[in-house]
Amino acid sequence: MEKQNSKVNKEFSLNEKYLQGTIIFLITVLLVIFIALPFTSLFAKAFTDTKGDFIGIKNFSVYFTTPALLSSLSNSLFISILSSLIAVFLGFAYAYGIHRTAMRLKGFFKVVAILPLFAPSMLYSIALIYLFGNKGIFTTLGMDINLYGPVGIIISEVIFAFPQVFLILSVGLSMADYRLYETAQVLNTSSFRTFFRITLPSIKYSLISSIFVTFILCFTDFGAPKILGGNYNVLATDIYKQIVGQFNMPMGAVASIVMLIPVLISLFY
């Protein structure tokens, strides 16, 4: 009987290993088809001209010596950095209020915080146009915020990135060691000192992660700049113009590679 059970367990173990190996192989094949091959084609295009002839790094030198393209890159960095700082500040304040205060209706406010996850950034941009556009509700009441340009893009990006920041920081705050707060309370430590000595150090990695995630989301977003950008160009809209508007695939590939750099840095970080 024991030999039969041992044989059955051994066969089950072999079948399980075979199934795991098959799943890993299929996932690898899918990753190669849908990620590796497109990226390989993208990198190859960056080193050719519009006729498909190899020209080395000429496209990159043209890109980094063209003022208009460099301006789009600097605009993307400006939008992403400022949007990240605002979103992280607001997301932290919101998460802190829910996890470290006795406020009511916490469940309701949690749902409100994650609602933007279920819609693309284009939807927020369209909503902002209805509110603050040239004929928006608040614009007709005298509240003109010059929506089309960096202001509108930043507002939309902050709304877009806020749920991710809230979720990341909520996890960090919920995993904090409450014994530290109890000790601080016993020692009559001020709230100000508790915040800077316990709260911030305990969520520093969550803060760093939220900054990276928010920056990447804002840096690579296309919806908000396309709808609210106007004449304010960023990297994502430049890629669209190069490929769709000018049919310049090599230069579009170069701009795409530049956009990928922050993503690759965050992965290795």
Are 266 and 216 in contact by the 8 Å Cβ rule? The answer is yes
40 and 71 in a single domain? The answer is no
Tens of each residue's pLDDT in the chain, 269 residues = 545 555 545 555 656 677 777 888 888 888 778 777 888 888 888 888 878 788 888 888 888 888 888 899 999 999 999 999 999 999 999 998 888 877 888 888 888 888 888 887 788 888 888 888 888 888 888 787 888 889 999 999 999 999 999 999 998 888 877 777 777 777 777 778 888 888 888 888 889 999 999 999 999 899 899 999 888 999 999 998 888 888 888 888 898 888 888 777 776 66
Do both 140 and 195 map to the same domain?
yes
Shared-domain flag, residues 139 and 179: yes
Count how many domains the chain has.
2
The confidence score (pLDDT) of residue 2 equals 47
- As a whole number of angstroms, the distance between CA 139 and CA 150 comes to 17
Q: Is 54 part of a structural domain of the chain? A: no
Which residues constitute the domain of residue 146?
66-268
- Does one domain contain both 41 and 138? no
List phi, psi (to 5°) of 34. Answer: -95, -15
Q: In this structure, are 260 and 144 located in the same domain?
A: yes
Q: Is 57 within a domain? A: no
- Judge if 208 and 136 occupy the same domain: yes
The amino acid at residue 200 is L
- Residue 181 and residue 236 in one domain: yes
Residues 105 and 34 in one domain: no
Specify the DSSP element, H or E, that contains 139: helix 137-140
Q: Which residues pair with 54 in a beta bridge?
A: 48
Rounded Cα distance between 232 and 71, Å, is: 9
pTM greater than 0.85 (yes/no): no
Angle between helices 121-132 and 150-174 (to 10 degrees): 130
